[in-house]
């Protein structure tokens, strides 16, 4: 019997050690806890204290997901890492994962760069690979080292982001855990969130120096997301797949802004216990925010299994994507690997 339906077998997540509070930010530029919290819902964020901490946590997160999936590193057929703000460009994050999980096989490993939509885009790729029969076990990793790409003199952007890691194992099965999945992009509004590559190094071309920092038109991003995402979830994620909003147990939205999460919650008519948030303590951890929120909520018992969840990511590109996934018993049984 050949099985080619995607089962989500295990997840893992890690949050870094270094805590930066809103009060800490008031020491580096003119801002206040009240300003930041009232507009974003963020009180503090976590940063990788060093590259070595980032890679140590990356290895542990992936091993945690493998343990929860009850499969060995050698059973993984491909690694996909959603990592737009990696600790280093080369070797890429997925090849670092390959080394850290100590697989003995030369399996393919590649990164995708879709910022905060990384988990959903990765899941869409994994879904297609599994259904095509090409791979049986996929390790999908999300990792963004946002703090290294922010201008910490810019109070409009540096207040928003934190670092983090997530991992998920998707395996071929006779049971389907991806009940709906969709990805989209609109490059015409790409300048809403941008990051140039650092320039000024080559003597033969335009030498205008630039730094590699994230820039954002905050109000444009806010309006774009608030306009598009609520109806995207109801129309493209739920209705198109004949899923009744009341039949889904949880909403785990990308943690970009508490006001956006509340807008979507209101549109779906969900009570607070159905909406998972962690933005207050972690800020926006880019591609990892959904997986970290899922992992924390499973660990704390806020999410019970078996259940279903709407997931939806959005960000630079502008790219966005969403789906409904099944959360089965045991996907986060091993919370104590760290």
DSSP assignment of 283-302 equals: -B-GGGHHHHHHHHHHHHTS
Q: Which residue's CB comes closest to ligand COA?
A: 218
Of the candidate residues 40, 103, 285, 288, the single one contacting ligand COA (CB under 6 A): 40
- Specify the stretch interacting with ligand COA by CB under 6 A; choose among 46-54, 96-104, 128-136, 211-219: 211-219
Smallest gap from residue 45 Cβ to ligand COA (A): 13
Quick note: the x/- pattern for ligand COA over 282-311, rule CB under 6 A, is --x---------------------------
Single out the residue of 279, 334, 323 nearest to residue 22, CA to CA. 279
DSSP assignment of 78-135 equals: EEEEE-SS-S-SSS-HHHHHHHHTT-SS---EEEE--GGGHHHHHHHHHHHHHHHTS-
Q: Which helix (H) or strand (E) holds 214?
A: none
Asked if 170 and 130 touch (Cβ cutoff 8 Å), the reply is yes
Smallest gap from residue 318 Cβ to ligand COA (A): 9
Asked if 292 and 328 touch (Cβ cutoff 8 Å), the reply is no
Of the candidate residues 43, 131, 155, 328, the single one contacting ligand COA (CB under 6 A): 155
User: Is 246 one of the catalytic residues?
Assistant: no
Of the candidate residues 57, 123, 143, 159, the single one contacting ligand COA (CB under 6 A): 159
- Specify the stretch interacting with ligand COA by CB under 6 A; choose among 89-97, 130-138, 176-184, 214-222: 214-222
From residue 44, alpha-carbon distances to 59, 68, 216 in Å are 25, 29, 20
Residue 37 in the binding site for ligand COA (CB under 6 A): no
Residue 218 in the binding site for ligand COA (CB under 6 A): yes
The count of other CB atoms within 10 Å of the CB of residue 315 is 24
Smallest gap from residue 236 Cβ to ligand COA (A): 19
Cβ closest to ligand COA, residue 76 vs residue 253 = 253
φ, ψ at 110 (rounded to 5°): -145, 155
Residue 194 in the binding site for ligand COA (CB under 6 A): no
Q: What is the C-alpha separation between 174 and 168, in angstroms, rounded?
A: 18
For residue 73, the number of C-alpha atoms closer than 13 Å in the C-beta half-sphere is 16
Smallest gap from residue 286 Cβ to ligand COA (A): 7
User: Is 116 one of the catalytic residues?
Assistant: yes
Structure tokens at 24: 């800490």
User: Is 254 one of the catalytic residues?
Assistant: yes
- Specify the stretch interacting with ligand COA by CB under 6 A; choose among 129-137, 205-213, 216-224, 290-298: 216-224
| Residue numbers at the binding site for ligand COA (CB under 6 A) | 31, 35-36, 39-40, 116, 155-156, 159-160, 216, 218-219, 221-222, 256-257, 284, 315
């Amino acid at each position: 019997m050949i099985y080619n339906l995607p089962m989500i077998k295990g997840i893992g997540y890690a949050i870094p050690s270094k805590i930066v509070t809103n009060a800490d930010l008031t020491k580096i530029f003119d801002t206040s806890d009240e300003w930041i919290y009232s507009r974003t819902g963020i009180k503090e964020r976590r940063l990788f204290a060093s590259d070595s901490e980032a890679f140590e946590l990356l290895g542990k997160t992936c091993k945690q997901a493998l343990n929860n999936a009850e499969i060995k590193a050698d059973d993984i057929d491909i690694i996909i890492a959603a990592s737009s703000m990696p600790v280093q460009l080369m070797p890429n994050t997925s090849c670092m994962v390959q080394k850290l999980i100590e697989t003995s096989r030369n399996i393919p490993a590649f990164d995708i760069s879709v910022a905060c939509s990384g988990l959903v885009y990765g899941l869409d790729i994994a879904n297609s690979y599994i259904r095509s029969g090409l791979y049986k076990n996929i390790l999908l990793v999300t990792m963004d080292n946002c703090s290294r790409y922010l201008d910490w003199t810019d109070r409009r952007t540096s207040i928003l982001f934190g670092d983090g890691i997530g991992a998920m194992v998707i395996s071929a099965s006779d049971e389907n855990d991806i009940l709906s999945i969709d990805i989209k992009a609109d490059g015409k509004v790409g300048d809403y969130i941008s990051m140039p590559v650092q320039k000024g190094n080559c003597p033969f071309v335009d030498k205008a120096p630039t730094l590699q920092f994230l820039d954002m038109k905050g109000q444009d991003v806010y309006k774009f997301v608030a306009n598009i995402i609520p109806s995207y979830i109801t129309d493209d994620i739920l209705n198109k797949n004949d899923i009744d909003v009341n039949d889904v147990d949880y909403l785990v939205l990308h943690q970009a802004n508490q006001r956006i999460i509340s807008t979507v919650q209101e549109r779906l008519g969900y009570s607070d216990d159905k909406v998972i948030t962690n933005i207050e303590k972690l800020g926006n951890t880019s591609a990892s925010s959904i997986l970290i929120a899922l992992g924390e909520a499973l660990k704390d018992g806020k999410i019970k299994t078996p259940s279903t969840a709407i997931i939806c990511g959005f960000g630079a590109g502008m790219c966005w994507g969403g789906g409904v996934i099944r959360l089965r018993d045991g996907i986060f049984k091993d919370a104590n690997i760290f």
